[in-house]
Every structure is written in C-alpha cells, then in structure tokens.
C-alpha cells in the first residue's frame, strides 16, 4: 500500500488544476505544466484538494500511484515557487558566463563547452556558482546533470563542476601511498 499515493495534495491560492483526457494541466503564477495521467488511477479535484485512488488493485497501478502523486505535487510547487539547483566550479581558470540563453563553460578543454537552455530554464552566474532555475523539476535536474557532466569532479584534487554541498570522496595520490 502506497503511503505517498494516499496523501492529499493541497492546492495553494492562485493555482488551478484542470483534469481532462488523462492530462492534468497545472497553471500558476510562474507558468503552466502538464502531467500525463495513467488510466489505472482515478484523480479527483475537490475543494482545493487533489486525491488519487486506484481504479482496481493491480501491481502496475500501485507502482504508479506514489509516482504520479509526487509528479503533480512537484508541478504545483514548480508553478508557485519554482525549482533551483546550484553548481559550483572548482579549479584554477574554470569560468562560466551567460550569453543570451546559453551557458558558456571554460573548464580546461581546448574549446568552450556551450549548454543551451531549453524553454522555461534560466541561468545565472555569480562568481563560481551557477544557478539553474525553472518550473519543471525534471528539466532543471537534467540540465544541471548535463552541466556537471561537462567536467565531473575528479577524486584527487576535487577539480570540476559539482553541486553546492556535494561531498567529493578524495583518494590519496602516489606520494601519499609510497610514504605509508
């Protein structure tokens, strides 16, 4: 039994949720998102609360129950507050700058790495911290992962692109190994 799927989602003021043809349209002050709903679930929208129930008990329906509930809840949070990820550049000479809707990274290659922002995503750069903002949690997370993948942090000196607050496990180098 899904404990997450049973929870009721409260709709804040200024947000509208319309359910038509197995698609939930969520509209708020920052924009609108759509969540495709499976036919195994029954979604009811009453008195600014959304509840999700199984139409019939099946393993596939139970596996989607909590997932769909969280997708709807994340969309509601996205259209009201938005989602944000922060990445940090660690390394001598590593730089980043925003040119229009593109992020240009200079991270030790012979060429700059250019990452284009999809619709709804904005980049901000402050010193060595890159902020990725948007209303769709999945897109913000994927773009952040793409930025990190341009130069993942290496385990010896920790140089590269990492999330703010991410812990990088360090390895001992050859000199430290020989001395032990």
pLDDT of residue 2: 63
Phi, psi dihedral angles at 143 (to 5 degrees):
-65, -40
**Predicted confidence band of residue 109 (pLDDT cuts 50, 70, 90):** very high
Picking from 77, 37, 74, 41, the residue whose alpha carbon sits closest to that of residue 56 is: 41
C-alpha distances in Å from residue 70, one per residue of 16, 17, 65, 116, 136: 17, 15, 9, 28, 13
Task: Round the average pLDDT of the chain to a whole number and report it.
Answer: 92
User: What is the signed CA dihedral for 146, 151, 156, 158, rounded to 10 degrees?
Assistant: -70
In this prediction, residues 34-62 reach a mean pLDDT of 91
Taking 70 as the threshold, does the pLDDT of residue 19 lie above it?
Answer: yes
Taking 80 as the threshold, does the pLDDT of residue 166 lie above it?
Answer: yes
Domains and CATH numbers, the chain: 3-80 (3.90.930.12), 83-163 (3.90.930.12)
What does the angle CA 113 – CA 118 – CA 122 come to, to the nearest 5 degrees? 80
pLDDT of residue 178: 66
Beta carbons within 10 angstroms of residue 18's beta carbon: 12
What does the angle CA 109 – CA 112 – CA 118 come to, to the nearest 5 degrees? 130
Distance between first and last Cα of the chain: 53
| % residues pLDDT > 70 (the chain) | 96
Burial (Cβ within 10 Å: 0-12, 13-18, ≥19) of residue 128 = middle
pLDDT tens track for 53-108: 999 888 998 899 999 999 999 999 999 999 999 999 999 999 999 999 999 999 99
pLDDT of residue 1: 58
Taking 80 as the threshold, does the pLDDT of residue 175 lie above it?
Answer: no
**Predicted confidence band of residue 173 (pLDDT cuts 50, 70, 90):** confident
Taking 90 as the threshold, does the pLDDT of residue 124 lie above it?
Answer: yes
């Amino acid at each position: 039994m899904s404990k997450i799927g049973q929870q009721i989602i409260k709709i804040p003021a200024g947000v509208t949720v319309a359910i038509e043809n197995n698609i939930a349209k969520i509209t708020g002050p920052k924009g609108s998102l759509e969540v495709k709903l499976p036919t195994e679930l029954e979604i009811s929208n009453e008195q600014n609360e959304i509840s999700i129930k199984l139409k019939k008990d099946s393993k596939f329906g139970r596996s989607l129950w909590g997932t769909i509930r969280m997708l709807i809840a994340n969309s509601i949070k996205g259209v009201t507050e938005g989602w944000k990820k922060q990445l940090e550049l660690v390394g001598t000479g590593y730089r980043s700058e925003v040119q229009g809707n593109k992020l240009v990274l200079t991270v030790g290659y012979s060429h700059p790495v250019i990452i284009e922002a999809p619709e709804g995503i904005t980049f901000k750069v402050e010193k060595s911290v890159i902020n990725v903002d948007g209303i769709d949690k999945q897109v913000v997370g994927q773009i952040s992962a793409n930025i990190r993948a341009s130069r993942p942090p290496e385990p010896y000196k920790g140089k590269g692109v990492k999330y703010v607050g991410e812990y990088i496990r360090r390895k001992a180098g050859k000199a430290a190994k020989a001395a032990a």
